[in-house]
Amino acid sequence: MRRALLGVGLLALAWAPAGAGQPEIELGFENLLYRTARTRLNRDNLLGLDPSEDLLRGGLGVKQTWGSARLVAKGYLERRIGSQDRTEATLRQAYLQYSFGDGLTLRAGKQRIAWGSGFAWNPTNRLEPAKNPLNTGLEQAGSWAVRMDVVPASWVGLILVAARDQAAAADLPLETQGRVRRIGAARARFLVWNTDLALVLSGGAGGRSLVGLDLGRSLGGSVSVHLEGATYRGAELVPARADRRFFRLAAGLLYLRGESQSLSLEYFWNSEGYDGQAMAAYRRNLDDTYAAAQDPRLPPPARQAALDAYRVAAALPFSGGLGLRRHYLHGSWTRSSRDSRWTGAARAVVGLADGGLAFTPGLGFAPRGDLTLQLDALVLLGPQDSEFRLAPIRSGLQTRIRLLF
């Protein structure tokens, strides 16, 4: 299916019939350099990380429009330098879109869905891979999906999506084995009393069935607010807790001053997240599996099983993209110079339960209208035993260059 779609796309690009718009082409270079650490999640370097892990990427993106049809393809070739020296290709997006006037649009292929009004967290979203929990500003890969947008009137719209994705975080030097999900979802959205209101239903294999609500409204002036919530039965984090109902909620505000300055704050509540007791149990599990993996009295298969269990538990904070705890705060600030050439940015995710902090200051430079450079640093701060400090990463430097045609 994927190969067929890509083949059709490439043929369409090569054919380029009369009436086609100018193709938009993007060349990119990314270098994600991490300094790793031996923490409780990486005792004696059981994850097998080198002191520094480097993800070096060369990317290509193409967008071509023919009247009501569009093809988008973006991907990169990644060379990992560190514990695993290997090269692999990854598609971020590859889809075909066709619009039947203003009322119906179909899109098929690997695509970003951007499901929900939340900035850092989207409680209604089970369709896409999670955002990178340590830097929500990185470009996300899409999901393989078929999407239909129906707009019967200007105040109402319906989006239907069938998607397949793997809920694992990208852009990290760790192997995170996320679940494969095959999800169907519907979003009915309305504009009522100058408020965006959306009702969401989703369910399928590999993910809980959920009911969600999404609200967005301008407060006047330069501020807008949003609230996105979902409820479902059965936990997605271990342990399963099959009969309990859980809630997730993201509530935030955005202050935007033209395009020169923005400030956003978002609070995230995950009712199935671990409280202090559950977090202590999680740490004990790490300790126990580690001890078993090292115990010479155990037969090798038992030690290997313990090691595998340790690795799965160690990857848990990164495999869902949501973190393990119940309460988080995300803040983001950007400011551009008056000629838009320089942009300063700072992002932070704070674990309110333990005071851990993932801080990402960044600097962007656009010397020309077709060239952008972005440099982000990643620093993990907070108490030694806090969730972010448990990560087997001490710091990171993320460099991105884009040349656009």
Partner 1 sequence: MSNLLACLLLAMAPDAAAIVKRADRAVLGETTTYTVRMTVQRPGKRDRVVEMRGFKKGDEQGLVRYTTPPKERGTAYLRSGENTWLYLPSAAKVVRVGAKQNFGGGDFSNGDIFRLSLIKDYDPTLLGEEAMSGEACFKLELRAKNRSVAYDRVLYWVRTDGSFFPVRAEYYTISGKRLKWLSLGEVGKLGGRLRPTVLAMENALEAGAKTELRFLAIEDEAKLDDRLFTPSALEKGE
* Contacts to partner 1 by CB under 8 A: 24, 65, 70, 97, 99, 101-103, 105, 112-114, 117, 119, 139, 149, 151, 153-154, 157, 159, 189, 191, 194, 196, 216-224, 226, 254-260, 336-341, 366, 368-372, 402, 404-405
Rounded to the nearest whole angstrom, what is the least distance from the CB of residue 363 to partner 1 in the complex?
15
Rounded to the nearest whole angstrom, what is the least distance from the CB of residue 221 to partner 1 in the complex?
5
Rounded to the nearest whole angstrom, what is the least distance from the CB of residue 302 to partner 1 in the complex?
46
Rounded to the nearest whole angstrom, what is the least distance from the CB of residue 152 to partner 1 in the complex?
8
Residue 324: φ, ψ to 5°: -100, -20
Rounded to the nearest whole angstrom, what is the least distance from the CB of residue 258 to partner 1 in the complex?
4
Between 152 and 383, name the residue whose CB sits nearer to partner 1.
Answer: 152
Between 42 and 374, name the residue whose CB sits nearer to partner 1.
Answer: 374
Between 144 and 290, name the residue whose CB sits nearer to partner 1.
Answer: 144
Rounded to the nearest whole angstrom, what is the least distance from the CB of residue 212 to partner 1 in the complex?
17
Written in H, E and C, the secondary structure of the chain is CHHHHHHHHHHHHHHCCCCECCCEEEEEEEEEEEEECCCHHHHHHCCCCCCEEEEEEEEEEEEEEECCEEEEEEEEEEEEECCCCEEEEEEEEEEEEEEECCCEEEEEEEECCCCCCCCCCCCCCCCCCCCCCCCCCCCCCCEEEEEEEEEEECCEEEEEEEEEEECCCCCCCCCCCCCEEEEEEEEEEEEECCEEEEEEEEEEECEEEEEEEEEEEECCCCEEEEEEEEEEECCCCCCCCCCCEEEEEEEEEEEEECCCEEEEEEEEEECCCECHHHHHHHHHHHHHHHHHHHCCCCCHHHHHHHHHHHHHHHHHHHHCCCCCECEEEEEEEEEECCCCCEEEEEEEEEECCCCCEEEEEEEEEEEECCEEEEEEEEEEECCCCCHHHHCCEEEEEEEEEEEEC
Between 151 and 251, name the residue whose CB sits nearer to partner 1.
Answer: 151
Between 69 and 235, name the residue whose CB sits nearer to partner 1.
Answer: 69
Residue 312: φ, ψ to 5°: -65, -45
Rounded to the nearest whole angstrom, what is the least distance from the CB of residue 71 to partner 1 in the complex?
12
Task: Give the C-alpha separation, 93 to 89, whole Å.
Answer: 12
Between 150 and 305, name the residue whose CB sits nearer to partner 1.
Answer: 150
Provide the CA 376 distance to its chain's centre, in angstroms: 17
263 neighbors 332 (Cβ within 8 angstroms): yes
41 neighbors 157 (Cβ within 8 angstroms): no
Between 133 and 273, name the residue whose CB sits nearer to partner 1.
Answer: 133
Between 335 and 394, name the residue whose CB sits nearer to partner 1.
Answer: 335
Rounded to the nearest whole angstrom, what is the least distance from the CB of residue 340 to partner 1 in the complex?
5
256 neighbors 237 (Cβ within 8 angstroms): no
Rounded to the nearest whole angstrom, what is the least distance from the CB of residue 358 to partner 1 in the complex?
19
Between 148 and 312, name the residue whose CB sits nearer to partner 1.
Answer: 148
Between 43 and 226, name the residue whose CB sits nearer to partner 1.
Answer: 226
Rounded to the nearest whole angstrom, what is the least distance from the CB of residue 339 to partner 1 in the complex?
4
285 neighbors 278 (Cβ within 8 angstroms): no
